[in-house]
């Protein structure tokens, strides 16, 4: 599965690209949408540092943004080559989960989710003015249902695509009609973005090849 999985490098690139696009183009003058790098969750789930150190290091993108000026913080999570996502919906006081493989991610990822919520609570306490420490654990948990044509190798593509789709407004269900087209659309949108400085070859190497009936297929 490793060769089929979206690389951490691609998701790291996406975190900078999407956050910039949301900030300076799509939601100018509106509450902030932020996609954290995958390194935050990796450090939380392989604890070598305290939540304070992790929150200080990876929360710089949130530094001095008032709590009332935040809309959503998206957190990509990679566990054993499986991508899933946690969306901290600040306005809705909800923690929304994205997982294209497991139908009950709140139960499947319960321990990891608890660790991530505690770490995010600390990150907000350290960086976000107006946040009341300890309240995030009381937010409700909801699951964004992933429906349609999914497999066990495209979790990263689906996670990123779903996060982009939910940036304007959260949906209860995200429909996947064609994985090849979804992958192509994701890559081309990222590649052609005026804020992207990563080459086609680098993006192609970072994304998995989508399966077709004839085998693996990349972009034409």
Q: Between β-strands 94-98 and 140-148, what pairing exists: parallel, antiparallel or unpaired?
A: parallel
Average pLDDT over residues 65-70: 98
In terms of residue numbers, what domain contains 37?
Answer: 2-217
| Mean residue pLDDT across the chain | 89
- Token pair, residue 17, equals 């690209």
Spatial separation of the C-alpha atoms in residues 100 and 173, rounded to whole Å:
11
pLDDT value for 187: 86
State the CATH number of the domain containing residue 121. Answer: 3.40.395.10
Q: How far apart are alpha carbons 4 and 58 in whole angstroms?
A: 27
Q: Which strand (E) or helix (H) includes residue 96?
A: strand 94-98
**Structure tokens belonging to residue 89:** 């919906």
Q: What is the pLDDT of residue 2?
A: 39
Q: What per-residue confidence (pLDDT) applies to 149?
A: 85
- Split into its structural domains, the chain has a count of 1
pLDDT over 90 at 207, yes or no: no
Q: What is the pLDDT of residues 83-129, one digit of tens each?
A: 999 999 999 999 999 999 998 999 999 999 999 999 999 999 999 99
pLDDT at residue 4 greater than cutoff 70: no
Give residue 16's Cα distance to chain centre. 12
Would you say how long the chain is, in residues?
Answer: 220
How do residues 33-47 score in pLDDT, each as one tens digit?
999 999 999 999 998
Q: What is the pLDDT of residue 70?
A: 98
Residues whose CB falls within 8 Å of the CB of residue 116, separated by 6 or more in sequence, listed in order: 41, 44, 45, 75, 77, 86
pLDDT at 205: 57
């Amino acid at each position: 599965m490793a060769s089929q999985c979206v690389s951490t490098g691609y998701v790291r690139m996406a975190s900078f690209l999407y956050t910039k696009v949301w900030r300076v183009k799509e939601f100018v003058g509106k509450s902030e949408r932020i996609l954290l790098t995958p390194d935050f969750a990796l450090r939380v789930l392989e604890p070598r540092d305290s939540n304070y150190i992790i929150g200080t290091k990876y929360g710089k993108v949130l530094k001095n943004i008032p709590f009332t000026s935040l809309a959503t913080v998206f957190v990509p999570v990679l566990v054993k080559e499986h991508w899933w996502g946690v969306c901290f919906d600040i306005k809705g006081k909800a923690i929304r989960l994205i997982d294209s493989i497991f139908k009950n991610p709140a139960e499947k990822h319960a321990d990891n989710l608890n660790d991530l919520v505690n770490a995010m609570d600390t990150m907000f306490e350290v960086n976000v003015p107006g946040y009341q420490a300890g309240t995030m654990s009381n937010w409700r948990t909801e699951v964004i249902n992933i429906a349609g044509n999914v497999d066990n190798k495209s979790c990263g593509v689906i996670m990123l695509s779903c996060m982009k789709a939910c940036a304007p407004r959260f949906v209860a269900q995200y429909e996947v009609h064609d994985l090849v087209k979804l992958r192509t659309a994701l890559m081309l949108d990222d590649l052609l973005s005026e804020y992207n400085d990563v080459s086609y070859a680098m993006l192609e190497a970072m994304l998995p090849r989508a399966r077709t009936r004839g085998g693996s297929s990349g972009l034409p």
